[in-house]
């Protein structure tokens, strides 16, 4: 087995000091040690969410957090708007529909983000929209929506609820929750937060709590009011994934010690290096319009004669580099390079080299070193201080 380079957009590689936290002895989830663990992790999370709102930790995948963001704030039949740039925007719409909301959508072509003008127009035409669901970083298409522009438009009506899926961005791409007046932000442990999967986190503004008072959608496991009540006593309503919380606290400390802004910068450099390398190869193409290109995941359209899944298999078997395939309608059409969380320039150099070798092997000649050369230049600049 070759060394393992997990370059998918989650679960992402976990640093060894965080992994070792996972192996700690079990503790009483109703005792003082756990209470301290939960409270301190929550405070660290607030720094990464850049919020003074409540932040609640749920034992669930990110999708569980998304469901919590639906069922806690709305009532049967209420009108909401979902921005769809790919599979995860669609997921928000599906959850809203499953719970009986009246769902309007804005759908973009794969690789494009939401245009502020479109959002403005739809909101104007549908004055009864109570809440807007946006994906910060759409993992399936490698699109990062410009929340600075979009949040402003949603909040032109301050009583409209703004809910953001930041599962594959929070901690890697700047998301100033309070500054942008985002009411609810959802994320998960296994992406930029450098922790194994199993925890979702959600921030809740005062306005969102007001919505919660009136919301009649059924909920129990994901009841955030209960979660808040228990958090005030340093506990969770139900037995939490204690080990993942041990790991999360360690990972958050690492990120904050390194500096959140430095973390954003590293992701910007990783994203830029991947994109420039892919462009330099000439035969491969970026799926996402560069106006919205994500700094955590890059979907790549391979040359016409190359099957992306075959390329991925070759790279995985020979070099241990694990890339992601396409999702939804993009299955079999693209491959995706994840560069989120505990990923460094060296990982990207390995990934680009492997792709060059694979392409050469699959019949695209003369590419050796072409992408790497460009990535090297970007990384040299990054390390110059």
Decide: is 221 part of the binding site for its own copies (CB under 8 A).
yes
DSSP 290: G
Apex CA 262: angle with CA 322 and CA 248, to 5°? 60
Under 8 Å between Cβ of 14 and 247: yes
Which residues are paired to 80 by β-bridges? 103, 131
Quote the tokens at residue 160: 């409209």
Decide: is 10 part of the binding site for its own copies (CB under 8 A).
yes
Residues 160-189 that bind its own copies (CB under 8 A): 188
**CA 144, CA 168: separation in Å to the nearest integer?**
10
**CA 188, CA 198: separation in Å to the nearest integer?**
8
Decide: is 218 part of the binding site for its own copies (CB under 8 A).
yes
H helix or E strand, kind and range, residue 22: helix 16-22
Q: Which is nearer to its own copies, 79 or 149 (CB)?
A: 79
Decide: is 94 part of the binding site for its own copies (CB under 8 A).
yes
**CA 11, CA 115: separation in Å to the nearest integer?**
30
Decide: is 228 part of the binding site for its own copies (CB under 8 A).
no
**CA 328, CA 332: separation in Å to the nearest integer?**
9
Region of 16-24, 153-161, 173-181, 372-380 interacting with its own copies (CB under 8 A): 16-24
Decide: is 35 part of the binding site for its own copies (CB under 8 A).
no
Binding flags for its own copies, 45-84, as an x/- string (CB under 8 A): --------------xxxxxx--x-----------------
Under 8 Å between Cβ of 148 and 180: yes
Region of 121-129, 158-166, 240-248, 279-287 interacting with its own copies (CB under 8 A): 240-248
Of 23, 159, 383, 384, the one binding its own copies by CB under 8 A: 23
H helices of 72-139, where? 87-98, 116-125
Q: Which is nearer to its own copies, 180 or 323 (CB)?
A: 323
192-224 in b/e form (b: 16+ CB < 10 A) is bbbbbbbbbbbbbbebbbebbeebebebeebbb
Q: Which is nearer to its own copies, 348 or 378 (CB)?
A: 348
Of 119, 242, 350, 358, the one binding its own copies by CB under 8 A: 242
**CA 355, CA 6: separation in Å to the nearest integer?**
14
Region of 22-30, 259-267, 286-294, 364-372 interacting with its own copies (CB under 8 A): 22-30
Region of 151-159, 213-221, 357-365, 366-374 interacting with its own copies (CB under 8 A): 213-221
Closest distance to its own copies from the beta carbon of 200 (Å): 9
**CA 12, CA 227: separation in Å to the nearest integer?**
27
**Among residues 15, 14, 129, which one has the least CA distance to residue 83?**
129
Closest distance to its own copies from the beta carbon of 324 (Å): 7
Q: Which is nearer to its own copies, 238 or 344 (CB)?
A: 238
Closest distance to its own copies from the beta carbon of 234 (Å): 15
Collapsed DSSP state (helix, strand, coil) of residue 115: coil
Residues 243-282 that bind its own copies (CB under 8 A): 243-244
Which residues are paired to 187 by β-bridges? 201
Q: How many residues interact with its own copies (rule CB under 8 A)?
A: 55
Closest distance to its own copies from the beta carbon of 349 (Å): 20
**CA 102, CA 77: separation in Å to the nearest integer?**
5
Residues 325-384 that bind its own copies (CB under 8 A): 325
Quote the tokens at residue 48: 């990464």
Closest distance to its own copies from the beta carbon of 107 (Å): 20
Decide: is 31 part of the binding site for its own copies (CB under 8 A).
yes
Footprint on this chain of its own copies (rule: CB under 8 A): 4, 6, 8, 10-14, 19-20, 22-31, 59-64, 67, 94-95, 98-100, 188, 190, 196-198, 217-222, 237-244, 316, 322, 324-325
């Amino acid at each position: 087995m070759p060394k393992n380079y997990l370059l998918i957009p989650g679960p992402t590689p976990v640093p060894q000091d965080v992994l070792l936290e996972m192996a700690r002895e079990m503790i009483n989830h109703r005792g003082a040690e756990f209470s301290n663990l939960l409270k301190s992790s929550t405070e660290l999370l607030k720094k990464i969410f850049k919020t003074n709102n409540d932040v609640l930790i749920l034992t669930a995948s990110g999708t569980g957090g998304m469901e919590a963001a639906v069922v806690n704030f709305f009532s049967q039949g209420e009108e909401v708007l979902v921005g769809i740039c790919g599979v995860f925007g669609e997921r928000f719409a599906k959850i809203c529909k499953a719970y009986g909301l009246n769902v309007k959508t804005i759908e973009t072509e794969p690789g494009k983000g939401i245009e502020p003008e479109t959002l403005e127009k739809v909101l104007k035409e549908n004055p009864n929209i109570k809440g807007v669901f946006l994906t910060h970083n759409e993992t399936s298409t490698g699109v990062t929506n410009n929340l600075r522009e979009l949040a402003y438009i949603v909040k032109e009506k301050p009583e409209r609820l703004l809910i953001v899926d930041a599962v594959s961005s929070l901690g890697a791409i700047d998301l100033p929750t309070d500054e942008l007046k985002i009411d609810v932000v959802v994320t998960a442990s296994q992406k930029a937060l450098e922790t194994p999967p199993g925890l979702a986190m959600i921030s809740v503004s005062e306005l969102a709590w007001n919505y919660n008072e009136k919301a009649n959608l059924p909920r129990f496991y994901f009841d955030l009011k209960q979660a808040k009540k228990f958090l005030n006593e340093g506990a969770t309503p139900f037995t939490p994934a204690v080990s993942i919380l041990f790991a999360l606290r360690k990972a958050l400390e690492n990120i904050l010690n390194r500096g959140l802004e430095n973390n954003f910068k590293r992701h910007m450099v990783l994203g830029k290096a991947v994109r420039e390398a892919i462009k330099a190869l000439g035969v491969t193409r970026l799926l996402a319009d560069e106006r919205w290109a994500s700094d955590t995941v890059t979907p790549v359209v391979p040359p016409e004669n190359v099957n992306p899944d075959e390329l991925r298999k070759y790279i995985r078997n020979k070099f241990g580099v694990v890339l992601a395939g396409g999702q939804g309608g993009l299955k079999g059409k693209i491959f995706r390079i994840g560069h989120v969380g505990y990923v460094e320039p060296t990982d990207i150099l390995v990934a680009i080299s492997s792709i060059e070798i694979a392409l050469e092997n699959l019949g695209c000649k003369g590419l050796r070193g072409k992408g790497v050369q460009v990535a090297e230049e970007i990384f040299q600049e990054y390390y110059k201080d």
